[in-house]
Chain A
Amino acid sequence: MTALRMPEPDAGVFARRAEIVRRLGEIVPGEGVIADPRGLAPYESDGVTVYAQAPLVVVLPETVEQVSAVLAYCHQEGIKVVPRGAGTSLSGGALPLADGVLMSMMKFNRVLEIDFPNRCAVVQPGVTNLGITRAVEHEGFYYAPDPSSQIACSIGGNVAENSGGVHCLKYGLTTNNVLGVEMVLMDGTVLRIGGKHLDSPGYDLMGLIVGSEGLLGVVTEVTVRILRAPETARAVLVGFESSEAGGQTVADIIAAGIIPGGMEMMDRPAIHAAEDFVHAGYPRDAEALLIVELDGPAAEVSHLIERVAEIARGNGCVHLRVSNSDAERLVFWAGRKAAFPAVGRISPDYLCMDGTIPRKELPHVLARMREMGEHYGLRCANVFHAGDGNLHPLILFDANIPGELDKAEAFGADILRLCVEVGGCLTGEHGVGVEKRDLMPAMFDETDLAHQIRVKCAFDPKQLLNPGKVFPQLHRCAELGRLHVQRGALPHPDIPRF
């Protein structure tokens, strides 16, 4: 396991473990508490398995009252709590703490209400992303944000991570598709924010909660917007001799006023890995492969797909196919969607990075990544959400070779710093979690971070909920609260006044 500094475990809490387990068992009776080592093992890590840590105890509440009572008890006793949905986090956001209670929300798995006239669904947080679509598709509706893990990931986790997917350039991220939440604060307070109406009175707490990585509260109910599925979708598969030509095509499509339903790019190593895996008919001689999907009314899609093809030809593409059936469209996507397992076949291990850049910086960033790869002696394959500049460099390594994991991690950190340097950010969709926590100062200075932590202090002053994630160092709220102000003798004469 990689070196990672977590908050110092509380010896007092360890000493009280038996008492804590007993008390939790009273709040959540039956099989709602897991305390034996074999039972805890499945919870040791989330999607980032390089980080593993058994929790103190796992609790699986079934009702809001139980969630509230567990949190209130832990708050009173000073016990840390890590909330967890399906555990598909790719940044270690659900990594347990040795002295913390792991609260699994997977028993909250019911669709509570579907309201087609108001185009929303009310669901519990453990419902999977795809489960929402499954619940409404009989009327032709769907839930738009579609992370690649949508078959497994829970909507509660989507709220925590502000998840997106291929569709998010056109249809927005979770934050744009959530209308309301019920959540429980660390002290056990139950809150309802939003609902079937738009916007909330008071501060935009929903804006803060979505993407807060489980540090502000435990979500117990979510109201999401559902959309009528587009009439049709078609895709274009385009190969280029250079990433520059691919990048220019993306820029030209946007400049032409076209916002595709999805726009994805892969580099040569990723193309080869995917083609070997699924035989989608990808051109092996291309340096960059672009998949552009247009969705909407059939007449519009046909019209726009021609324009996209023209733009691609204008940029000298060497390969171009337009899907003429849904089956063909899905074949185009098959390779891209299987890119991660495909790369898994060509390397014993890989690290999946997640940074966003201004799209125009793509050629520069790819060139710099090649240089870094040479420096570290590691290969890298790239899949890229081209529409929104979200890069996923897959750094290939072999964990059995001493030192390779460290090199891969250093390579990944360099890539993310580069993303920030060119005007981008550390994470486009996976979250900061523990994985990118110590890189936060590359993007935010101390005052920026202090203002973020102040949000945490408003929600969870004792910092008991998922501590050690997102922020590189734990300030106590009291330390942040000090005001250093020099008494101004004079109203500033240099500022214009009237």
Chain B
Amino acid sequence: MAETYAPRDADETRTFLAWALAEEKPVEVIGHGSKRPIGRPVQAELTLDLSGLSGLSLYEPEELVLSAQAGTPVAEIEAAVAARGQELAFEPMDYGPVLGLPAGRGTIGGLLATNLAGPRRLSKGAARDHVLGIKAVSGRGEAFKAGGRVVKNVTGYDLARGLSGSWGTLAALTEVTFKVLPRAEASETIVLSGLDDHRAVAALAAAMGSSTEVSGAAHLPADAAVATGAATGGTVGRDGRAATLVRLEGVPVSIAHRADMLMGLLAPFGRIERIAGAPSEALWRAVRDVAAFTPDRAPGTVLWRVSVAPSAGPVVAAAVARAVPDSRAFYDWQGGLVWLCLPATPRGTDAAPSGTAADAGAATIRAAVAAAGGGHATLIRADAATRAAVPVFEPQPAPLAALGARLKAQFDPKGILNPGRMA
């Protein structure tokens, strides 16, 4: 059992990491551990628990800026900014439910370290697009800062963005500063039903290519629609048909106008319903947190998160379905984010290009992604043995992998931070 250290501030974090470096002891960095089951299981003698670094250090709503200690719960931050009519505009997803863990347990440092995003990724970006500055301790046991706390800044390298999505392998974040934005006054969802995946993604492309400022574009094939509907009180999937979702947000007068425009634009695609207010919000939370494929709704499955060009989404899902007939998919980001749910030991995989059962579908999925124009696939949910055996993150071409390794060596020369996590 790894020994856990829980520093109370950035200075104690630096002291601890300088000591771990001197002893060359590997360290697993965690906040609340809400995303701990993602990635390669880390073999570390020590655990650095940053949950003690908690609290907002600066919040200036009129400057659209917020700084918080890295261990501050995201839920606490969302509540604080909501009280001032603001939000983290990238709508960070909560991995808890889909990993079979409680909801609402992530920290703001973990959010940046894993570059979280939600349905608004395609219009407003991810955590990386909203981070303004960081304070951190590198694997050299040195405290440093980067960026700042103003919304426009090109002073020096953008290390704050460089650390986003680095899964704690370059530095342990101790404080982060984010841009916040006003929360929309209202939202509404336009639902098209019964479309096949290709037709649905074409409808989403038409909506996104219009001037109606769509802020969410998802497609739930029939079984995902039924499961999502069950999780949200039956907003979609009641008729057992696929649901294609387009979200509008803003001031009510604007939504009314844009909804009319979209109804005209999407009429050729089929029957349209409109969902407003709380049910609409609940529906997008369910899309964001992959409610269709939580372990209770999809027992005994592995879950993949695939990012491709939007038009390639259905192509990839179809290719995977041909190789693994029991696979299921749903699409966010206009089709560009594909959540793929595969049986842990899939049946009927004899025709698969490689041992699908052994590799959780990795070879099949990655071949489909490459054939469809490129992108990346991440294994999000699988048991530890599978995650230890399968490359969880997309393997990179040799020159990129070499550059990544050089960056790691610069920031963490002894490899003490989350060793193996991103491998």
Q: Mark B199-240, 1 if CB is under 8 A from A, else 0.
A: 000100100111111000000000000000000000000000
Which residues from chain B contact A300 at a C-beta distance below 8 Å?
250-251, 253-254, 257
Known: A297-B212, A297-B258. A204 touches B128 (CB 8 A): yes
User: A451 within 8 Å of B by Cβ?
Assistant: yes
User: A210 within 8 Å of B by Cβ?
Assistant: yes
Stretch at the interface among A190-198, A278-286, A395-403: A190-198
User: A138 within 8 Å of B by Cβ?
Assistant: no
Which residues from chain B contact A1 at a C-beta distance below 8 Å?
none
Does the CB pair B254–A201 fall under 8 Å?
A: no
Closest Cβ–Cβ distance, residue A286 to chain B (whole Å):
23
Q: Mark B152-168, 1 if CB is under 8 A from A, else 0.
A: 11111111011111100
Does the CB pair B157–A208 fall under 8 Å?
A: yes
User: B85 within 8 Å of A by Cβ?
Assistant: yes
Which residues from chain A contact B115 at a C-beta distance below 8 Å?
199, 204
Known: A360-B63, A424-B150, A452-B146. A486 touches B156 (CB 8 A): no
Closest Cβ–Cβ distance, residue B297 to chain A (whole Å):
26
Known: A190-B399, A299-B253. A257 touches B150 (CB 8 A): no
Which residues from chain A contact B337 at a C-beta distance below 8 Å?
198
B132: nearest chain-A partner, CB-CB: A425
Does the CB pair B211–A207 fall under 8 Å?
A: no
Known: A117-B209, A164-B152, A211-B157. A492 touches B16 (CB 8 A): yes
Stretch at the interface among B71-79, B96-104, B347-355, B402-410: B402-410
Which residues from chain B contact A461 at a C-beta distance below 8 Å?
406
Does the CB pair B254–A296 fall under 8 Å?
A: yes
Which residues from chain B contact A483 at a C-beta distance below 8 Å?
21, 140, 413-414
User: A380 within 8 Å of B by Cβ?
Assistant: no
Which residues from chain B contact A358 at a C-beta distance below 8 Å?
60, 63, 65, 149-150
User: A458 within 8 Å of B by Cβ?
Assistant: yes
B7: nearest chain-A partner, CB-CB: A495
Does the CB pair A388–B151 fall under 8 Å?
A: yes
Known: A199-B115, A258-B182. A205 touches B403 (CB 8 A): yes
Closest Cβ–Cβ distance, residue B257 to chain A (whole Å):
4
Which residues from chain A contact B143 at a C-beta distance below 8 Å?
447
User: A479 within 8 Å of B by Cβ?
Assistant: no
Known: A140-B211, A458-B406. A205 touches B152 (CB 8 A): no
Stretch at the interface among B118-126, B267-275, B278-286, B319-327: B118-126
> How many angstroms between the C-alpha atoms of A200 and B375 in the bound complex?
8
Number of interface residues of B (CB under 8 A): 109
> How many angstroms between the C-alpha atoms of A180 and B303 in the bound complex?
26
A223: nearest chain-B partner, CB-CB: B309
Which residues from chain A contact B22 at a C-beta distance below 8 Å?
485-488
> How many angstroms between the C-alpha atoms of A492 and B257 in the bound complex?
62
B411: nearest chain-A partner, CB-CB: A454
B157: nearest chain-A partner, CB-CB: A452
Closest Cβ–Cβ distance, residue B168 to chain A (whole Å):
12
User: A304 within 8 Å of B by Cβ?
Assistant: yes
Which residues from chain A contact B256 at a C-beta distance below 8 Å?
299
Does the CB pair B150–A208 fall under 8 Å?
A: no
Q: Which of B21, B250, B422 contacts A202 (CB 8 A)?
A: B422
Which residues from chain A contact B159 at a C-beta distance below 8 Å?
208, 451-452, 455
Known: A207-B164, A448-B146, A458-B410. A117 touches B205 (CB 8 A): yes
A164: nearest chain-B partner, CB-CB: B152
Stretch at the interface among A29-37, A166-174, A235-243, A316-324: A166-174
Q: Mark A396-439, 1 if CB is under 8 A from B, else 0.
A: 00000000000000000000000000011111111110001000
Which residues from chain B contact A199 at a C-beta distance below 8 Å?
115, 117, 126, 128, 165, 307, 376
Does the CB pair B158–A359 fall under 8 Å?
A: no
Closest Cβ–Cβ distance, residue A443 to chain B (whole Å):
6
Does the CB pair A189–B399 fall under 8 Å?
A: yes
Q: Mark B162-188, 1 if CB is under 8 A from A, else 0.
A: 111110001000000000011101000
Q: Which of B208, B254, B375, B378 contacts A297 (CB 8 A)?
A: B254
> How many angstroms between the C-alpha atoms of A448 and B126 in the bound complex?
25
**Dominant SS at the A interface?**
loop
Which residues from chain A contact B16 at a C-beta distance below 8 Å?
492, 495
Which residues from chain A contact B413 at a C-beta distance below 8 Å?
481, 483
> How many angstroms between the C-alpha atoms of A384 and B128 in the bound complex?
26
Does the CB pair B309–A202 fall under 8 Å?
A: no
Does the CB pair B153–A257 fall under 8 Å?
A: no
Which residues from chain B contact A428 at a C-beta distance below 8 Å?
150, 152-154
Does the CB pair A176–B121 fall under 8 Å?
A: no
Does the CB pair B403–A458 fall under 8 Å?
A: yes
User: A311 within 8 Å of B by Cβ?
Assistant: no
User: A365 within 8 Å of B by Cβ?
Assistant: no
Does the CB pair B15–A208 fall under 8 Å?
A: no
Closest Cβ–Cβ distance, residue A448 to chain B (whole Å):
5
B16: nearest chain-A partner, CB-CB: A495
B84: nearest chain-A partner, CB-CB: A255
Which residues from chain B contact A432 at a C-beta distance below 8 Å?
154-156
Which residues from chain A contact B309 at a C-beta distance below 8 Å?
115, 118, 120, 195-197
Which residues from chain B contact A172 at a C-beta distance below 8 Å?
125, 129
> How many angstroms between the C-alpha atoms of A287 and B229 in the bound complex?
57
Q: Mark A349-384, 1 if CB is under 8 A from B, else 0.
A: 000000011111000000000000000000000000
Closest Cβ–Cβ distance, residue B339 to chain A (whole Å):
14
Does the CB pair B336–A455 fall under 8 Å?
A: no
Does the CB pair B145–A448 fall under 8 Å?
A: yes
Which residues, 95 to 144 on A, are CB-close (under 8 Å) to B?
115-120, 140-141
User: A298 within 8 Å of B by Cβ?
Assistant: yes
- Most interface-central of A172, A228, A451, A459 (chain B CB within 10 A): A451
Q: Which of A119, A197, A389, A429 contacts B307 (CB 8 A)?
A: A197
Does the CB pair B52–A297 fall under 8 Å?
A: no
User: B386 within 8 Å of A by Cβ?
Assistant: no
Does the CB pair B155–A429 fall under 8 Å?
A: no
Which residues from chain A contact B85 at a C-beta distance below 8 Å?
257
User: B331 within 8 Å of A by Cβ?
Assistant: no
User: B373 within 8 Å of A by Cβ?
Assistant: yes
- Starting from the known contacts A429-B154, A495-B12, A496-B7, 20 additional A-B residue pairs (CB-CB under 8 Å) come to A116-B209, A118-B309, A162-B158, A173-B154, A175-B158, A203-B165, A203-B404, A205-B400, A207-B162, A210-B158, A258-B182, A300-B253, A304-B251, A427-B153, A443-B148, A452-B156, A458-B403, A483-B140, A485-B22, A495-B15
Cβ-closest 3 pairs across A and B: A207-B161, A300-B254, A257-B182
B-binding residues in A (CB < 8 A): 115-120, 140-141, 161-162, 164, 168-169, 172-173, 175-176, 185, 189-193, 195-205, 207-208, 210-212, 228-231, 251-252, 254-259, 296-300, 303-304, 356-360, 385, 388-390, 423-432, 436, 440, 443-444, 447-452, 454-459, 461, 470, 481, 483, 485-488, 491-492, 494-498
Can you offer 9 A-B residue contacts whose CB atoms are under 8 A?
Answer: A197-B307, A254-B61, A257-B86, A297-B211, A300-B257, A451-B411, A455-B157, A459-B403, A491-B5
